[in-house]
Structure 1
Amino acid sequence: MARRKTTRPVRGAAAEVREQVHALDAAVFSAVATTPSPILDRWMPRLTNAADHSVLWLAIAGGLYLTGRSRARRAGLRGVVTLGATSLIANQLAKRLHHRERPIRSLVPIGRLSRRTPISSSFPSGHSASAAAFAAGVTAELPAAGVPLQVLAGLVGFSRVATGAHYPSDVAAGLVLGSTVAAIGRRLVPPVPPPSVPAPRELDQLPPRPRGEGVTLVVNPASHSGRGAALTRTLRRALPAMRVVELRGSDDVEAVMRRAAAAAEVLAVAGGDGTVATAAQAAIERDLPLAVFPGGTFNHFARTIGADSARHTVQAIRRGTATKVDVAYLNDRIFLNTASVGAYTDFVRIREGLEKRIGKPLAALAAGWRSMRKDRAVSVTVDGTTRESSLLFIGNGQYEPHGFAPNVREDLQDGLIDVRILDVSDRWSRFVVLLATLTGQLARVKQYHEVSAPEFEIGLPGGSERIARDGEVGEEGDVLRVRAVRRALTVYRPRRG
């Protein structure tokens, strides 16, 4: 008769791993807790208490906001949003899925204990998750802050062990959770790329004008909430030989620009993009170089050519460094940056009002959503195909990135018109476009169309629409004839590097 084999319960592999991790946790925790150290006794409770309720991270975000720098403010906002999402996942989901008892606090010296005695599950560490999330979120927008914030996040995690609140594996899990949420956030809403100034293919050498000899400046003293007047005073000191013409509210800007150009060797302008475009046309007609001083709210063209401060333009005039750039015409009227019809005028207005506070990607989402809610679609015919367009973008030059948040031109001499059409004429299209925008897949959906060529004729079969150029709303038209003119405008540009 065969003997029956007796069997013993075999522990599962997962249970064995948990026991080994717990044993290692207990050993490391005990070693940290029983290590006499005045430094740990003094600083670890202060650090862990500062991180309670994310006060430490909110204070840092507030400091970033107070710098006034748009990139720092976006970094702080991303950090806080990432922290909030991570805290919700850690405390309301992860801790409920796996309950773990807290370490025995009696091993920790009394003077090193944290102010609060936590009673929730030990796994994962919410403080560590929030620390990693905030540090990674800020770093995505502001890489220079990465090392100090990541070190601080690591110290907060260590403080949770040193003060008896968590085991080391709780801290590790929290750090991984926070970093993962931040990585997902970067995928859904990509960080704004650092501003880049396109490199010109060449810099021309014009006669140096160290005192502004032969330069005529047309300036609107009331531009940008009166900052134009302060800019004028600065420029008079920097270029004392320069002639200054001040615009008044009743002036015909085109006529003033033409008169100024007729008496100048160099035409200079301080104002917003619309005023700069008018000056560019006058300069082209007289074959004059144009000097652009940023005097408006956004100064897109000035930033694109590297004249992002008055100091840079003054430097270029004194040294005589310049380059040639393309201009574009819509129905024979010039624009330097973008033109549009229909709801895109609303989109630009809303986006530019938000982008300095929350960054261009988030501002584009908010502006797109608000514009889509207005149910404003325009029939657009391009290359024989008619589409319903809620948002129509026309750019002087190829813009980057692809999708519907164009931000920068890498080449100011490519001779192309960039046309982008977005169709959100029904609710399903809105849902598809919003999802595609969040996931970075907008260029792949049929509701979005992008094409570039040296010239286009765009029909508006639904009737005339108001045309906007460089942020200025102009006449109505039912046909848009758009063309690029290569290297038509000479502009002063500082030499970098």
Structure 2
Amino acid sequence: MGHVRRSARQVNRVDRDLVIRSGQLPKTPADGWLMSLSRSANKSRLWFAIAVVLAAKKGKTRRAALRGVGAITFASVSANLVGKNLFPRRRPAAELLPEYRRLAKRPTSSSFPSGHAASAVAFATALGLERKGLGKVVAPVAGAVAYSRVHTGVHWPTDVLAGAAIGVGAAYATLHWWPLGPDAPAQSAHAAEVTAVEDGDGLLVLVNPNAGIAGEDATDVVKHRWPRATVVHPRPGADLIEQLSDELTAGPGDIRAIGVAGGDGSVAAVAAVAAEFRLPLVVVPAGTLNHFARDIGVDGIDAADAAVRAGDGVAVDLAGVDIEGAGIEGEAHRWFVNTASLGGYPEMVRLRERLEKRGWPKWPAAAVALHRSLRRAQPIRMSVDGRSHLVWWLFVGNGTYSPKGFVPTHRPVLDSGLLDVRYLRADVPYSRLRFVLATLTRTLHTSHVYRQRDLAELEVRLLDDVERRIATDGEVGPLGSRFRFRSRPSALAIYRPTEAG
């Protein structure tokens, strides 16, 4: 114990000496800049503002922003709620620094560790995990914020070092629940013979102007890149698959490929038509998340155009579900390129759409809808391949997803010929609590409340005379009581750049 006390006194002497030396630095314009920078980082406002800007750009930049916010949350809780309560410490005396460098409003909480440093380093490190370039750009700003806490006299140097260590740990802790996705797109071992197309000659493209962020209509971009293409828009109230089928049937017959500029729901509908008419599919990501485009390695119209001009393509799987219900004559069918689900997710999508119609932006609407749907969730009694279960939700993926925990993030391959089936059981005591604990500890794969299987086909029947809506690729489908899922191996030919394979 005496050794610990001597070490603590030595650290305090070093801290005091460094603060005094900092106070002896000559006055420069940087003093005012550091004070403003320090105040801008109060309650992480600076980092949240940067995150909002970064989130406007799709793909890895948006994921980096989200990871950064998650890291800030973890770092802030660790430093401010845990660290400061466990290690009370007085802040440096104001007299150690000249008056012009002192913050007008000094914090009153424990000095150890620095919450500002923790959040700053957490954010910069998390950005770097997703995109090294972003991390390098933000790191100097984060370092300046951390140093500003010593420069303005509200923290000892070791407070900042401890906060920085917490920040690094918080950023890497996000990998525990949200692993990094692979930089390479998903693979397919099945080549496809696709026709090279110049300037859109023989190309029919459906553009959904309502996809993605409001106001970003891809029509002009598509027409400029492919001036000889036939461009159509969804007809209000019409079934998209029927509309495109009519276009192909009644058209001049010179269509050699079909394209789509929209989100995953639009891609799924056009993919179904492409498979039916045995036409290769061109995907231009223009939605909010663009999961399918990301998986096939097409990050924009430049990549799509390069593949179309070169005639590069592969064959990938499609998945479908047949739906039976009291309000359906015979049965309905829906194709999906990514995922289908029963339970809380379809209800969340419906609530999100209602909020968007009231003028809510998409992301805040989705957050509110997710919170409300989870709070109101009711378990569903269903038969899964003949075995009865009480289930909170059911997830079916087109292909085998990774990781096998609660949040699947990517597909290693696009031609497995299998469905990724996951469901959360509600017939186990304390199922939701056990699910949360297993998710936090990443032991979900061994939990009795969670099931995951890879199957070529799956039949689900809802019991107790109930019907539920199914969601496919983020779009809400009809009410049904019986659902038959199946994979169609290598049913769809797509254009993708050779380097993406």
TM-score higher than 0.5? yes
Correspondence for 1:267 among 258, 265, 269:
258
Rounded to whole Å, the distance in 1 between the matches of 2:477 and 2:9 is 74
Residues 265 and 288, structure 1, Cα contact 8 Å, conserved in 2? yes
Question: 287, 293, 296: which is aligned to 1:305?
Answer: 296
The SS at the match of 1:390 is: strand
In the alignment, structure 1 residue 62 sits paired with structure 2 residue 55: no
Distance change in 2, residues 1:333/1:91 (3 Å) = closer
- In the aligned structure 1, how far is the partner of 2:16 from the partner of 2:272? 76
Q: What letter is aligned with 1:411?
A: V
Given that 1:316 and 1:492 are in contact with CA atoms closer than 8 Å, whether structure 2 keeps it comes out as yes
- Quick one: structure 1 residues 238 and 135, their matched pair in 2 at CA, closer, same or farther if it must change by over 3 Å? same
CA distance in 1, matches of 2:101, 2:458: 71
Separation in 2, partners of 1:452, 1:164: 58
Q: CA deviation at 1:51?
A: 1.1
**One-letter amino acid matched to 2:135:** G
Which secondary structure state, in structure 2, belongs to the residue aligned with residue 459 of structure 1? strand
Q: Deviations over 1:253-302 (max 9, x none)?
A: 33332233342222233444344333333322332222233354444333
Residue in structure 2 matching 1:241, options 228, 247, 260: 228
Name the CA distance, whole Å, in 2 between partners of 1:153 and 1:274: 39
Q: Give the 3-state SS of the residue equivalent to 1:483 in structure 2.
A: strand
- Correspondence for 2:185: 197
Conserved 8 A contact 2:85-2:110? no
Match of 1:253 among 237, 240, 249: 240
| Distance in 1 separating the partners of 2:2 and 2:214 | 75
CA distance in 2, matches of 1:162, 1:467: 57
TM-score (norm 2): 0.78
2:327 aligned partner: none
2 CA distance for matches of 1:147 and 1:133?
A: 16
For residue 135 of structure 1, the aligned residue among 103, 107, 121 is 121
Q: Which moved more, 1:232-241 or 1:78-87?
A: 78-87
Q: Is the 8 A contact 2:339 2:398 kept in 1?
A: yes
Distance 2:144 2:39 in 1: 14
1:335 counterpart = 2:322: no
Aligned to 1:15: 5
Contact kept, 8 Å, 1:398 with 1:452, in 2: the verdict is: yes
Mapped partners of 2:243, 2:227: distance in 1: 21
Pair member with larger Rg: 1
Percent sequence identity is 31
2-side partners of 1:299 and 1:416: how far apart?
Answer: 21
* Structure 1 residue 194: Cα displacement: 6.9
Alignment partners' CA distance in 2, 1:440 and 1:467 = 28
Map of 1:32-43 to 2, 5 A cutoff?
32-34=22-24, 37-38=25-26, 42-43=29-30
Aligned residue for 1:4? Answer: none
Q: Deviations over 1:240-264 (max 9, x none)?
A: 3223344422544333322333422
SS at match of 2:499: coil
1:105, CA displacement in angstroms?
A: 3.6
Identify if the C-alpha distance between structure 1 residues 355 and 489 changes in structure 2 by more than 3 Å, giving closer, same or farther: farther
Secondary structure in structure 1 of the residue aligned to 2:445: helix
Number of residue pairs aligned between Structure 1 and Structure 2: 472
Offset from partner CA, 1:177-201 (integer Å, 9 cap, x none): 55455555x3675366477521333
Contact 2:404 2:445 (8 Å CA) reproduced? yes
**Deviation string, structure 1 residues 395-418 (Cα, Å, up to 9, x no partner):** 110122222322322211011111
- Distance in 2 between residues matched to 1:222 and 1:14, nearest whole Å: 64
Question: 2-side partners of 1:116 and 1:194: how far apart?
Answer: 47
SS at match of 1:490: strand
**Which AA in structure 1 matches 2:268?**
A
Alignment match, 1:231: 218
User: How far did residue 387 of structure 1 move?
Assistant: 1.1
Q: Could you say if the C-alpha distance between residues 223 and 357 of structure 1 is closer, same or farther in structure 2, counting changes exceeding 3 Å?
A: closer
Q: Normalising by the residue count of structure 1, what TM-score does the alignment of the two structures yield? A: 0.79
- Contact 1:48/1:156 (<8 A) preserved: no
Find the counterpart in structure 1 of residue 382 from structure 2: 380
Deviation at 1:495, TM superposition (A): 3.2
Deviation at 1:453, TM superposition (A): 1.4
Aligned pairs (5 A) from 1:395-434: 395-424=397-426, 428-434=430-436
**Cα deviation code 1:356-382 (max 9, x no counterpart):** 85899xx6xx76653343242222223
2:195 corresponds to: 207
Structure 2 distance, partners of 1:401, 1:276, is: 24
Q: Tell me the SS of whatever aligns to 2:195.
A: coil
